[in-house]
Structure 1
Amino acid sequence: MRRTFLNIVYNAVYQVFLVLVPLITVPYLSRVLGPKTYGIYSSVNNTVQFLMIFCILSLSYIGMRTISRTRTYGTPQELTEAFWGLWYFQGIAGIITILVTVLITSIFHIQYWNYLLLMVPYLISAQVDISWFFQGLADFGRVVLKNTAVKLVSVVLILLWVKSPADLWKYLLIMSVSTMLGSFVFWFDIWRYVGRPVGHFYKFKTTLRSIVILMIPQIATQIYTSLDKPLLGIFQNSTQVAFYDNSQRISNMVLGVITSISLVIMPKMASEGKDEQKVVMKKSLEATVMLGTLFAVIIMANTKQFVPFFFGQKFIPMTPLMFFFTLTIIMIPTGGVFANQFALANHRDKEYAFPVVIGAILELVLSYFLDRHFAAVGAMIAILITEFIVLILRLWVVRDGYDFKYVFHDVPKYFLLALITLIVGMVMPNFIPSAFFNMAAKSIIMLLVYLGLMFMMKFDFNEDIKQLIKNFFKRGKK
């Protein structure tokens, strides 16, 4: 249990680090670039995020699942064949995607084509990204340490070189190249685990079928998580795109922490029996809902002060957007328990795909009608409705694999705690002149209120937390 906890911590740090660099630099960049130029970056960046799925295919899930099972039941040679045979799919797909992207942008000069070319290193980073291998091995500490230095260097370069809206190209180049270098560092350690490259794909027909099945939900997911920004840009100006994109940044950072639970638990679920899976699912769901509701209400209570403090006065119009976007911190990870941890771990790829495909269609329809009339607010409404429907479908399609009453026994209580904590935070006055220290104090008080109420109530999960803390300190004394 302690190893799983440490892996959750390590992977949480890694997921936060993937968004930490833009998060750290946002206060600086939002003031230097301004809403209009930042909106251009958002459109370009999210277009590239969509293209990246054609480079990495579905290997982040297939690879993690396969490596986890091979590590548990296979031989070192089988691990070597699995790694190389899977990465060949990714390597070839990356070459094709990069060539097609460069040719189309160069020949047709589509909108922001020159900025898109600067983001080609991002596509290369996806092509060579083998973090799924280390995640399958549950070796998360190595992943975190190797990327830290690269990310920190990029922050320094941004602060030194990006000084005005005209420096947008420098920012794009720094971000794309640093991400590419971050992916290459994984390769320095691969020889510790696998042998020389093999001359064949890994279970070609089976893997190709899984890639095709899982590519559909990957594309669908990106439609309403990445292409929603360029789509908004078609109907509205880049300023509205900047408001919409930045209003999600804090939520996305927190999502990186919470969804790390799914990334760690999924390999564990893949190697467990059905009886053990039910227990793991219940504990994972409670941890996810607890963290999701806690973070969501703390952000909600601080939004009004946080936006002008963090983003600047020009971004105040996005305050209500950020407030309501925090609901995704609850919905997305909760659905991930049933999609990533259960459906993918048990090779129920079709059940994994169905909800997000429906979500993508719904998002496109809602965006078409709402974006043009209500701008960023309409885009926010569209994504919240979509995420809610996707969550319901994820629970429904795998309903035969779990006991609803058992798994959700304590979940309503967490929502009650969250509501009480939110009310406390909203009525609390700003008693400290400094915005930063006032938000910090309010957050700490809300945290204590939430945890205090939680341990006053009879949650099954409380005992797991107490036991985990006891084991942790016992190990530390040895």
Structure 2
Amino acid sequence: MKVIRNYLYNAGYQLLLVILPLVTATYISRVLTKTGVGINAYTNSIITYFILFGSLGINLYGNRQIAYQRENKLEMSRTFWEITILRVVTVVLAYLAFFIYLPFSNYPTLMIFQSINLLAVVLDISWLYMGLEDFKKTVTRNTLVKIISLIAIFVFVKNKNDLGIYIIILGLGALLGNLTLWPFLKEIIVKVPLKKLHPLKHIRPSVMLFVPQIAVSVYVVLNKTMLGKMTSTVNSGYYNNADTIIKTVLALATATGTVMLPHVANAFANGQKEKINRMLYDSFDFISFLTFAMMFGLAGLSLHLGPYFYGTGFGPVGGAMLLETPVIVLIGWSNAIGTQYLLPTNHTREYTTSVIVGAIVNIILNFPLIYFWGLSGAMIATVFSEVCVTGYQLWTIRKLVSYRKLFQNVGKYLVAGIVMFIPVFKINNTVHTSVFSIFAEVVLGAVIYITVILFLKPTILDKSKKIFKENKNKNEK
């Protein structure tokens, strides 16, 4: 039940991280206009490169190392301080690189505002709590800060000239959110003499996880950068808005990765290989159940949802969303295999190779596809890249797991998704789009999907009943 509780905490928080910007997006897209939204997406994509260098793969690495050592408080504390010192050094180096770049930027003032997000990286110790599987602290504290940021946006961002204020609010929100995690350290970490700390030993394993993070950023960041350079910053905004909605629904599935990584890492440290495979099968099945519903449901709504949500001037967002929806399933699967299996079981090389392959494919396809088809080309390149990532990861685990157990219910979820998509898509393209129509279509889609699932009877139903029964018996005791 601890895993389920942590999943609900993290799923809720990950959803919040995307929903709050999504809530503000309807307001921001109208206040800052498509030009301001595009410039923000473009400048944010640039600062993300420096953030990645400053982070140096530490979040994933730190999460895993804390999970390995959490039974030994002294060793865990030593690891925490060593990784923290390493992060301070890498962020300082990232800032030096940033100030070298700054004179060459088209938006130097806005880039300085965006750099607040880089400063926030120094204070980010969420990896400690994730390794300890203590998600409640990170969720409750950061939720409060995010809500305050949301209120600040509505209060202080009034017209298209307030783009800088908007960027500052988002940056300060990240900074304060990370700062709120530090007061709890005295309950968890002990002091370690400075002479016993050796932060440099963590460089190599961190860099090994830094490489895949750089590659992963291609899908999220490089597409916006290349669209801004090859077409216009307006297309960067369209891409960002479409991707934001996709990532909103995807957050429910990928939240399992953050929760399961320390759980699997701890099981790996204790030599429980059968338990690890069993957790992968269950997690993969759960993610498939969610993502097929999300993919077909969002595809049915996409053409009119995007333009209606963001307002006048954002028509291309709908078509971009429709093209991108397959990544919901693909990223869900690669999250289960990569983050929940390969990384915690020390198959870092295989994980790194998979995302590098995806990055290379993305870059190669971006040039011709963006040149000929612009925004649509970037979306197609993104989907093909995710196909390569997931395909390679599946190939690497072919001798470690049973494909039959992994995909035993996928066909049923696919059928349920298609049956749901047809009426939702037809209604969405027939009736006038409104809040009521979108809500009605979502409810209709959910009812159809669940009905078909109940008819086809995948094994997830029996597992759900078992968990519910165990929880009920526990509560009665």
TM tier relative to shorter chain: over 0.9
1:225 matches 2:220: yes
Aligned to 2:87: 90
Distance (Å, rounded) in 2 between the aligned partners of 1:319 and 1:218: 28
Q: CA deviation at 1:53?
A: 1.3
Q: CA deviation at 1:315?
A: 0.7
Residue among 230, 242, 245 paired with 2:240:
245
Distance (Å, rounded) in 1 between the aligned partners of 2:180 and 2:304: 39
Residue among 229, 236, 240 paired with 2:231:
236
Q: Partner of 1:247: helix, strand, or coil? A: helix
Aligned to 2:184: 189
Deviates more, 1:458-467 or 1:242-251: 458-467
Aligned to 2:99: 102
Change (3 A) 1:433 1:200: farther
Residue among 173, 181, 184 paired with 1:178:
173
| Residue identity matched to 2:250 | L
Distance (Å, rounded) in 2 between the aligned partners of 1:165 and 1:47: 21
Equivalenced residues, count: 473
Distance (Å, rounded) in 1 between the aligned partners of 2:322 and 2:196: 47
Q: Deviations over 1:123-164 (max 9, x none)?
A: 011122111110111111111100111111111111111122
The answer to whether the Cα contact below 8 Å between 1:85 and 1:201 also exists between their aligned partners in 2 is no
| Residue identity matched to 2:89 | I
Q: Partner of 2:346: helix, strand, or coil? A: coil
Q: Deviations over 1:202-227 (max 9, x none)?
A: 66565322112221111111123212
Distance (Å, rounded) in 1 between the aligned partners of 2:475 and 2:444: 29
Change (3 A) 1:112 1:462: same
Distance (Å, rounded) in 2 between the aligned partners of 1:44 and 1:233: 10
| Residue identity matched to 2:384 | I
Distance (Å, rounded) in 1 between the aligned partners of 2:432 and 2:426: 17
Q: Partner of 2:180: helix, strand, or coil? A: helix
Q: CA deviation at 1:265?
A: 1.1
Q: CA deviation at 1:201?
A: 7.6
The answer to whether the Cα contact below 8 Å between 1:86 and 1:201 also exists between their aligned partners in 2 is no
Q: CA deviation at 1:434?
A: 6.9
Distance (Å, rounded) in 2 between the aligned partners of 1:201 and 1:360: 39
Q: CA deviation at 1:432?
A: 7.8
| Residue identity matched to 1:84 | W
Aligned to 1:268: 263
Distance (Å, rounded) in 2 between the aligned partners of 1:331 and 1:429: 25
CA RMSD of aligned residues (A): 1.9
Aligned to 2:386: 387
Residue among 148, 168, 175 paired with 1:153:
148
After the TM superposition, list the runs of 4 or more consecutive aligned residues in structure 1 that deviate by more than 6 angstroms. 429-434
Gaps of 5+ in 2: none
Distance (Å, rounded) in 2 between the aligned partners of 1:264 and 1:311: 32
Aligned to 2:320: 321
Aligned to 1:347: 346
The answer to whether the Cα contact below 8 Å between 1:130 and 1:183 also exists between their aligned partners in 2 is yes
1:118 matches 2:113: yes
Distance (Å, rounded) in 1 between the aligned partners of 2:409 and 2:431: 36
Q: Partner of 2:399: helix, strand, or coil? A: helix
Q: Partner of 1:315: helix, strand, or coil? A: coil
Deviates more, 1:307-316 or 1:377-386: 307-316
Q: CA deviation at 1:468?
A: 2.2
Gaps of 5+ in 1: none
The answer to whether the Cα contact below 8 Å between 1:338 and 1:395 also exists between their aligned partners in 2 is yes
Change (3 A) 1:358 1:180: same
Change (3 A) 1:429 1:301: closer
Q: Deviations over 1:175-209 (max 9, x none)?
A: 11111111111111111100125426866565322
Aligned to 1:5: 4
The answer to whether the Cα contact below 8 Å between 1:85 and 1:200 also exists between their aligned partners in 2 is no
Q: Deviations over 1:276-312 (max 9, x none)?
A: 1111111100111111111122211222332232100
The answer to whether the Cα contact below 8 Å between 1:43 and 1:229 also exists between their aligned partners in 2 is yes
1:331 matches 2:338: no
Distance (Å, rounded) in 1 between the aligned partners of 2:475 and 2:439: 30
The answer to whether the Cα contact below 8 Å between 1:84 and 1:201 also exists between their aligned partners in 2 is no
Distance (Å, rounded) in 1 between the aligned partners of 2:196 and 2:395: 35
Aligned to 2:202: 207
Normalised TM-score (structure 2): 0.95
1:294 matches 2:311: no
The answer to whether the Cα contact below 8 Å between 1:302 and 1:439 also exists between their aligned partners in 2 is yes
